[in-house]
């Protein structure tokens, strides 16, 4: 029999963790709505091809980390990220005539990698995709939205926006050629993964964490040296837009996206508060992604943020609502307590009604659940058609007619 423990790399979301989790989603969703982004939900599993075409078969995610399986002859996988699913939904639902298409999503993703603080095998993300707009203003909008959400989560001053440009297709191709030319003489000095990438996806070598690779990368040509005039103008417009919105940033020339459908803006919001897992939100422009999936040529830009990481940084932890404790004394009061509890809950009050116990035990439970007020129903109170309402913070107690309970308890909301 399997141990009654969660699978390694997964975790239960209970109580305060769940409140933090919801706070991230709800604040992000509310602010995204101000920018015209509507929530969408895509399936947790897709045809594997949705991701092999978009993420790339040579990427670590596809080659090492995806949870893939076969069912009735179909090759399926649990989604490792959200962008490909949203883009698939855009195409399969025939939304090409409804651009710009603005989507917000939140939900679980799955990758088989070494669990550590802020990184799990089942993790959760919020994200936005703005599809159908090729202007740098779209890049600015998703960046401003991301900054707005992070500020609303209380992270202002805790995160830094790192920004780079990958240029357009021509600039990227020119840079790829220069990078390959530089690295080829050092092929034998590269890590095994980077040797493969040199032939298939050389820009991803710039992402390498191998120390030997990083020493070589430090001397490599810079992307900015290969930018054409159009790409420079695009990036300058993005930077000017951020400045106009009062959003500070640093240009990081090593910040790249390795796949060919990425272009122009790439960015990450990073923090030093989570150790090695410093990126809390990242994204960029992916004008070639939908075409790579077999859809029409359609520009897009978006980002995703890790809910677990954001929740760890959350400044103000949402508190559990302090309930009203309804405390019946004696058999005659039990039925009235049930009726009052139902009325109060339907009126929008959080109510705790212990299932049994004497007055002492029920008051102890009221303290345990951090009740704000106790509604005590004894024989004397019932004869008067009233309840004793005790303020559990001050100790003050007053007699309140049962018919006026909802109105009187409003002062404790």
Q: What are the binding residues for L-histidine? A: 81-83, 111, 125, 129, 257, 261-262
Q: In whole angstroms, give the CA distance from residue 360 to residue 60.
A: 60
Q: Which contacts (CB < 8 Å, 24+ apart) does range 180-184 have?
A: 182/219, 182/220, 182/221, 183/216, 183/220
Q: Which residues of 140-167 are buried (b: 16+ CB within 10 A; e: fewer)?
A: bbbbbbbbbbbebbebeebbebbbbbbb
CA-nearest of 374, 379, 382 to 398 is 374
CA angle 41, 44, 49 (to 5 degrees): 110
Among positive and negative, which fits the CA dihedral 401, 403, 407, 412?
positive
φ, ψ (nearest 5 deg) of residue 268: -145, 140
Kindly report the number of other CB atoms within 10 A of residue 272's CB atom.
9
CA-nearest of 139, 148, 173, 156 to 283 is 139
Q: In whole angstroms, give the CA distance from residue 337 to residue 386.
A: 12
Q: What is the DSSP string of 311-331?
A: HHH-SSPPPPPPPEEEEE-SH
Q: In whole angstroms, give the CA distance from residue 328 to residue 379.
A: 9
Q: Which contacts (CB < 8 Å, 24+ apart) does range 62-66 have?
A: 64/112, 64/113, 65/111, 65/112, 65/113, 66/110, 66/111, 66/112
Which residue do the tokens 């009221």 mark? Answer: 366
Those residues whose C-beta lies under 8 Å from the C-beta of residue 159, and which sit 6 or more positions away, are 150, 269, 270, 271, 280, 281
Sheet containing 263-270: order of strands: 38-39, 101-110, 122-131, 300-306, 279-285, 263-270, 160-165, 250-251
Q: Please, are residues 281 and 143 in contact by the beta-carbon 8 Å criterion?
A: no
Q: Please, are residues 265 and 285 in contact by the beta-carbon 8 Å criterion?
A: yes
Integer CA distances (angstroms), 67 to 62, 104, 219, in order: 9, 24, 37
């Amino acid at each position: 029999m399997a141990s009654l423990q969660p699978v390694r790399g997964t975790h239960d979301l209970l109580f305060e963790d769940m409140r933090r989790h919801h706070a991230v989603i709800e604040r992000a969703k509310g602010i995204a709505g101000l920018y015209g982004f509507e929530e969408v939900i895509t399936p947790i599993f897709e045809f594997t091809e949705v991701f092999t075409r978009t993420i790339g078969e040579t990427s670590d995610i596809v080659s090492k980390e995806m949870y893939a399986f076969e069912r009735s002859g179909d090759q399926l996988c649990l989604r490792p990220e959200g962008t490909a699913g949203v883009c698939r939904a855009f195409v399969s639902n025939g939304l090409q005539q409804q651009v710009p298409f603005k989507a917000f999503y939140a939900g679980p993703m799955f990758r088989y990698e070494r669990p550590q603080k802020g990184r799990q095998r089942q993790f959760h993300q919020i994200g936005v995709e703005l599809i159908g707009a090729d202007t740098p203003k779209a890049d600015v909008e998703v960046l401003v939205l991301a900054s707005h959400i992070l500020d609303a989560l209380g992270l202002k001053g805790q995160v830094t926006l790192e920004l780079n440009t990958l240029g357009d297709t021509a600039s990227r191709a020119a840079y790829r050629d220069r990078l390959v030319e530089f690295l080829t003489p050092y092929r034998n000095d590269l890590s095994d993964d980077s040797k493969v990438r040199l032939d298939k996806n050389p820009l991803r070598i710039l992402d390498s964490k191998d120390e030997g690779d990083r020493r070589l990368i430090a001397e490599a040509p810079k992307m900015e040296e290969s930018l054409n005039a159009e790409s420079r103008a695009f990036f300058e417009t993005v930077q000017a837009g951020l400045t106009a919105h009062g959003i500070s940033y640093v240009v990081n020339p090593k910040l790249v996206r390795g796949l060919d459908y990425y272009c122009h803006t790439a960015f990450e919001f990073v923090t030093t508060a989570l150790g090695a897992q410093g990126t809390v939100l990242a994204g960029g422009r992916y004008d070639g992604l939908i075409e790579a999936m077999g859809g029409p040529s359609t520009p897009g830009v978006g980002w995703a943020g890790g809910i677990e990481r954001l929740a760890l940084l959350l400044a103000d932890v949402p508190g559990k609502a302090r309930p009203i404790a309804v405390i019946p004394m004696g058999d005659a009061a039990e039925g009235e307590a049930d009726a009052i509890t139902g009325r109060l809950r339907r009126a929008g009050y959080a109510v705790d009604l212990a299932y049994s116990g004497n007055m002492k035990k029920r008051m102890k439970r009221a303290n345990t659940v951090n009740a704000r007020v106790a509604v005590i129903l004894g024989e004397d109170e019932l004869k008067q058609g009233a309840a004793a309402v005790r303020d559990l913070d001050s100790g003050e107690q007053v007699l309140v007619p049962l018919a006026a309970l909802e109105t009187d308890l409003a002062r404790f909301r």
